[in-house]
Amino acid sequence: MSRGKELKPHIGIFGRRNNGKSSLINNLAGHEVAIVSDVAGTTTDPVKKSIEIPGIGPCVIVDTAGIDDTGELGLKRIARTKDALKAIDAAILVITDNQFGEPEKDLVVSFADYGIPYMIVHNKADKSPLSAELDDELMRSFQHRAIVFSATLPDDPGMIIQELKRLIPESAYRSTSLVGDLISYGDVVLLITPIDIEAPEGRLILPQVQVIRDVLDNDGVAVVVKEREVDAYIRKMSPKPALVVTDSQVFLKADASIPKEIPLTSFSILLARQKGDFENYLKGTPHLSRLKDNDRVLILESCTHHVSCDDIGRVKIPRWLNNFSGKKLEYDTVAGLGNLPRDIKDYAMVIQCGGCVITRKQVISRLKPAVDEGIPVTNYGMAIAYVHGIYNRAVAPFMKTKENLNTAYL
Strand order through the sheet with 349-352: 330-334, 296-300, 349-352, 377-379
Q: Average pLDDT, stretch 4-18?
A: 78
310, pLDDT greater than 90 = no
100 against 173, higher pLDDT: 100
282 against 167, higher pLDDT: 282
pTM for the complete prediction?
A: 0.69
What's the pLDDT tens digit per position in 24-66? Answer: 888 887 656 544 444 444 444 567 888 887 777 788 889 898 8
Strand, helix or coil for residue 57: strand
Instruction: State how far the Cα of 11 lies from the Cα of 209, in Å rounded to an integer.
Output: 28
The 8-class DSSP code of residue 398 comes to G
239 upstream amide cis, omega within 30 of 0: yes
Domains in the chain, CATH or no CATH each: 10-172 (3.40.50.300), 190-270 (3.40.50.11420), 279-392 (3.40.50.11410)
The confidence score (pLDDT) of residue 30 equals 67
Strand, helix or coil for residue 356: coil
The confidence score (pLDDT) of residue 408 equals 45
The confidence score (pLDDT) of residue 155 equals 65
300, pLDDT greater than 90 = yes
The 8-class DSSP code of residue 65 comes to -
Closest CA relative to residue 381, chosen from 189, 188, 192? 192
Mean pLDDT, the chain, rounded, equals 85
| Range scoring the smallest mean pLDDT among 10-19, 26-35, 53-62, 126-135 | 26-35
198, pLDDT greater than 70 = no
- Whether 349 contacts 288, CB under 8 Å: yes
What's the pLDDT tens digit per position in 213-237? Answer: 999 999 999 999 999 999 988 888 8
Closest CA relative to residue 215, chosen from 237, 241, 252? 241
- Residue 60 — φ and ψ, nearest 5°? -120, 120
The confidence score (pLDDT) of residue 57 equals 78
Instruction: State how far the Cα of 334 lies from the Cα of 376, in Å rounded to an integer.
Output: 17
